[in-house]
Structure 1
Amino acid sequence: MTHDSKMIDLFVIGGGINGAGVARDAAGRGLSVVLCEKDDLAQGTSSRSGKLVHGGLRYLEYYEFRLVREALIEREVLLRAAPHIIWPMRFVLPHSPDDRPAWLVRLGLFLYDNLGGRRKLPGTRVLDLRRDPEGAPLLDKYHKGFEYSDCWVDDARLVVLNALDAAERGATVLTRSPCISARREDGAWSVTTRDSLTGQTRQFRARCLVNCAGPWVSDVITRVAGSNSARKVRLVKGSHIIVPKWWEGQNAYLVQNHDKRVIFINPYEGDMALIGTTDIAYEGRAEDVTADEAEIEYLLAAVNRYFKEKLRREDVIHSFSGVRPLFDDGQGNPSAVTRDYVFDLDRNGGAPMLNIFGGKITTFRELAERGMHRLAEIFPQMGPDWTETAPLPGGEIANADYESFAALLRELHPWMPRALVRHYGRLYGARTRDVVAGAMSMADLGRHFGGQFYEAEARYLVAREWARTPEDILTRRTKHYLHLTKAEQAAFAEWFNASDLACAA
């Protein structure tokens, strides 16, 4: 066992979006921070979302006005911070007279446009679906529609960039290192982690523990820390499917199903579409969640209710499911359960423990900031709020204008194909220079594994972004798995496991 004798300020459990956000915020205030994650960064809920930074239009129906307003404000904060992985998207909402009345939809969109002090994104417009091109793929019976703005996000990369910023500000980030024990001793926490790949055990002393374990938050409280809390999370399963994209243009669609749920249909990875999500109460282990056939059929039926071209089961390229750890507010309908977050600061036994329940990707930065406010009395020496105006790694691009930045990348690397420039620019932004450091030709990028995937990127991800397995690279740091054949993926895994990267990881 390795003992880290120096007392640290904050030990954060959970490498999803909330844990990475808290670690980043705290490190930037000058606190000493260690973050541990039992799997890979974003391996749980935070890589299995609908990939949106949004206010949550449907939350208005449940009178969550404060939550929607805060999320809308955060939408533009995050767009400025990471314009390479977050970008505006227009959503077309065809109106069905069988569902919500048009006046109610229009009122909701008016509030959506104005609650958050929108500055960068265009507002709502009414569409004539019989004339406007956005109506072309829809069934002829839909005459009226609305178009509004939200933002797309690469959710897993958002987590990694927060962890990267935290590390660059002095935090220690441990992946595949579950916290196996946390006990209060002499007014501090004695925390033990075990690396699941190497078996190495490490022990830390920390002044405060922050529990950002998401679906496992209650397990950390009771089993790991030997504590308790009256607050609980409610696990709600959300599933998505990926199919070939069948409409022209870069707009997304939002449709209402018979049960009043809304389904997002978003352009994805160039020539694909991401469709979701479901909302089903979940009782099993969060690690075991998968999209079942009933959910897949539900999503296909919701789309086919609106579009001329009918999707079939064999069109589904891939499906995934995540468990959302929502704060249990006692609502019976899973769709009505609040997406807000709640803090529980346990100061029993002298050493404080901050448990975080609920939350959503869009409000992670604000959650982290408010969490640090709850710890201000414990750490009076910590610095002020700072994350609202700070770019995330790679987001330091001129005027937050991605297209101008992409043009600059093409000038800097004239030997690089346009599609590869776009791939690197969208994932790494200004850090593209580090990914292709020293390369002057395609040959300098090393082995080509298929699609836009070259050896230089794999080496960068292991060296700088905690990628430790082929899956970390193919499914979370990138989406290469969607663009490589099964044989190409297997060939990469074989190369990775036989290379020096496997030892470095």
Structure 2
Amino acid sequence: MPSLKLIKRYSVKLLDNEYDLLVIGGGVNGTGIAADAAGRGLKVLLCEQNDLASATSSSSSKLIHGGLRYLEHYQFRLVKEALKEREVLLKNAPHIMWPLSFRLPHQAHLRPYWMIRIGLFIYDHLAKRITLPASKSIKFTRDSILNNTITRGFEYADGWVDDSRLVILNALAAQQKGATILSRTRCIKAVRNNNNWSVTLEQQGSKKQCSIVAKGVVNAAGPWVASLFDEVITGPSPHNIRLVKGSHIIVPRIHTEPQAYILQNKDQRIIFVTPFEDDYSLIGTTDEEYSDNIADVKISDKEVDYLISITNNYFKKQLTHNDIVHTFSGVRPLLDDNSCDAQAVTRDYKLILSSNNNQAPLLSVFGGKITTYRKLAENAVNELASFYPHMGQTWTKNTPLPGGDFSSKVVLKQQLQVKYAWLPEFILNRFIRSYGTGTYTLLTDAQSVADLGQHFGHGLYATEVNYLVNSEWASSAEDILWRRSKLGLRFNTEQITALSQYIQNYNGSIPL
């Protein structure tokens, strides 16, 4: 149960209960829209029923990419937009994103060599490349990490992203622009009254309710976008979605090469094997139709067998179920385009604006992919422009996300090492990859490791925990170990218990 102090803070925060825009959903699309709108001068409130990035947005393959395989389904507009956005994001968030090379071993019986070569040529030229090199053909020797039947392939470049931190940084950007961010706060009722919306919010822990008024509402609830119409807005959903489950496994690092691998399978799907958190390999994803409880999504034995089998078909190092360190699954809300199978369903998005007779607007977000979230958010706010004559101009394309205002990681590391020479390098490296220049805010005037307080293990100290609780909406060990970081891969049960007890007893100011 939340403390009385926490409940009081909640009620005080909402005394000012009139907003230009309510955004429902704290995933990458919701936080992106909240940041964009707040930066254009709108008074924004975002509510998320659980922790930020607690569903689809933290369960991706963690790639910023155009989607090479989408070319097979003729989704050229989507791929082109994603390739353009890839460059924008790599520039604006260099702490949580970086270029990553991919090797694609060729299997002649799956796709002809010429087909892949043409696909990569199109991929190279659909949008201007600034950061990343062009694709090339490569050869594999008998000393390679692949089985000896594979002798040639391709190499191309895309980007890596810490997906859950991307969400947190957008929430921080929104807050810095004046937005109110309420996590663990559910929208339970929204009623349109011609010129505005009357909305009831409920805090998940205390079940305390409050009412607000919003001139407009954005439904960015992700997998719940359609069900929100049944349960909250009361009306038919303007579009159907298909829920597709994607699952991943994490194993000890399969190889020491810096490249990721993209593996083809006889069902025409591909999976990625990417370096993950220094010591691990991330393998995924699957594509399965999903109709069960979204909150209970988890990997199946069939999916595990599928991922292990494909990986073992390519690599000399063979995996078993015993190698799996962690798994995660997410449900992607894809536009229902009547495709026959899950892998062919479009990853494009659709924005549907409802405002009969100039009533208070409702904008619903269907579909989308993490790479195009910024453009989706910009387009979403543009759709609402006519309802807000005072709205400012677009701004996110050339603005770094919080912590991303530095020229290079090398330079930033040198600067931080001067100020915090006592900080172990492995912790500094993680701070740079998570917080960028925000590391200065986190460490403030600490003069030694002793100043960081209680050590919970693997470089996580009380100072960082306090920062995450006070500034990044974290309120549990899971929030910190899996969404604010990936230290959950390394923590044991005893360490998790100690961290949980510390957070429970912490007397800091916990934002909702």
**TM-score, normalised via structure 1 length:** 0.97
CA–CA distance in 1 between the matches of 2:365 and 2:22?
Answer: 14
Q: Secondary structure at the match of 2:225?
A: helix
**How far did 1:186 drift?**
4.6
Decide which of 62, 76, 86 is 2:87's aligned counterpart. 76
**Letter of the aligned partner of 2:50 in structure 1?**
D
> Which stretch has the larger CA shift, 277-286 or 177-186?
177-186
CA–CA distance in 2 between the matches of 1:298 and 1:489?
Answer: 31
Q: Secondary structure at the match of 1:373?
A: helix
CA–CA distance in 1 between the matches of 2:213 and 2:472?
Answer: 25
1:174 and 2:168 are equivalent in the alignment:
no
**How far did 1:486 drift?**
2.1
CA–CA distance in 1 between the matches of 2:334 and 2:108?
Answer: 32
Q: Are the equivalent residues in 2 in contact too, given 1:4–1:205 (CA < 8 A)? A: no
Structure 2: stretches of 5+ with no match in the other structure: 1-9
1:332 and 2:340 are equivalent in the alignment:
yes
Which whole-Å deviations, capped at 9, do the CAs of 1:35-86 have from their partners, x for residues lacking one? Answer: 0000000000000000001000000000001100000000010001100000
Q: Secondary structure at the match of 1:372?
A: helix
Which whole-Å deviations, capped at 9, do the CAs of 1:143-189 have from their partners, x for residues lacking one? Answer: 10111001000000000000000001000000000001100125210
> Which stretch has the larger CA shift, 383-392 or 405-414?
405-414
Share of identical aligned residues, percent?
Answer: 47
CA–CA distance in 2 between the matches of 1:432 and 1:13?
Answer: 30
> Which stretch has the larger CA shift, 91-100 or 349-358?
349-358
> Which stretch has the larger CA shift, 255-264 or 194-203?
194-203
Q: Residue 378 of structure 2 corresponds to which residue in structure 1?
A: 369
**Letter of the aligned partner of 1:490 in structure 2?**
T
Q: Are the equivalent residues in 1 in contact too, given 2:133–2:157 (CA < 8 A)? A: yes
* 1:60-139 correspondence to structure 2 within 5 Å: 60-130=71-141, 136-139=144-147
Q: Are the equivalent residues in 2 in contact too, given 1:92–1:145 (CA < 8 A)? A: yes
CA–CA distance in 2 between the matches of 1:343 and 1:321?
Answer: 26
Q: Residue 161 of structure 1 corresponds to which residue in structure 2?
A: 169
Which whole-Å deviations, capped at 9, do the CAs of 1:403-445 have from their partners, x for residues lacking one? Answer: 2222222222110111011011110000001111111100001
**How far did 1:502 drift?**
8.6
Q: Residue 29 of structure 1 corresponds to which residue in structure 2?
A: 40
Q: Are the equivalent residues in 1 in contact too, given 2:473–2:511 (CA < 8 A)? A: no
Q: Residue 450 of structure 1 corresponds to which residue in structure 2?
A: 457
Q: Residue 210 of structure 1 corresponds to which residue in structure 2?
A: 218
CA–CA distance in 1 between the matches of 2:172 and 2:511?
Answer: 18
* 1:412-491 correspondence to structure 2 within 5 Å: 412-491=419-498
Q: Secondary structure at the match of 1:305?
A: helix
Structure 1 348/285 Cα, relative in aligned 2: closer, same or farther at 3 Å? farther
1:270 and 2:308 are equivalent in the alignment:
no
Which whole-Å deviations, capped at 9, do the CAs of 1:296-328 have from their partners, x for residues lacking one? Answer: 110000000001110011000010100000011
The aligned length equals 500
CA–CA distance in 1 between the matches of 2:175 and 2:506?
Answer: 26
**Letter of the aligned partner of 1:23 in structure 2?**
A
1:234 and 2:238 are equivalent in the alignment:
no
* 1:347-362 correspondence to structure 2 within 5 Å: 347-348=355-356, 350-362=359-371
**TM-score, normalised via structure 2 length:** 0.95
Q: Are the equivalent residues in 1 in contact too, given 2:17–2:211 (CA < 8 A)? A: no
Q: Are the equivalent residues in 2 in contact too, given 1:236–1:334 (CA < 8 A)? A: yes
Structure 1: stretches of 5+ with no match in the other structure: none
Q: Secondary structure at the match of 1:146?
A: strand
Decide which of 394, 399, 413 is 1:390's aligned counterpart. 399
Q: Secondary structure at the match of 2:426?
A: helix
Q: Are the equivalent residues in 2 in contact too, given 1:181–1:192 (CA < 8 A)? A: yes
* 1:20-59 correspondence to structure 2 within 5 Å: 20-59=31-70
Q: Residue 498 of structure 1 corresponds to which residue in structure 2?
A: 505
> Which stretch has the larger CA shift, 342-351 or 366-375?
342-351
Q: Residue 307 of structure 1 corresponds to which residue in structure 2?
A: 315
CA–CA distance in 2 between the matches of 1:319 and 1:416?
Answer: 32
Structure 1 503/100 Cα, relative in aligned 2: closer, same or farther at 3 Å? closer
**Letter of the aligned partner of 1:442 in structure 2?**
V
Q: Are the equivalent residues in 2 in contact too, given 1:496–1:502 (CA < 8 A)? A: no
Q: CA RMSD in A?
A: 1.4
Decide which of 15, 28, 33 is 1:17's aligned counterpart. 28
Q: Which runs of 4+ in 1 moved over 6 A?
A: 502-505
**How far did 1:285 drift?**
1.5
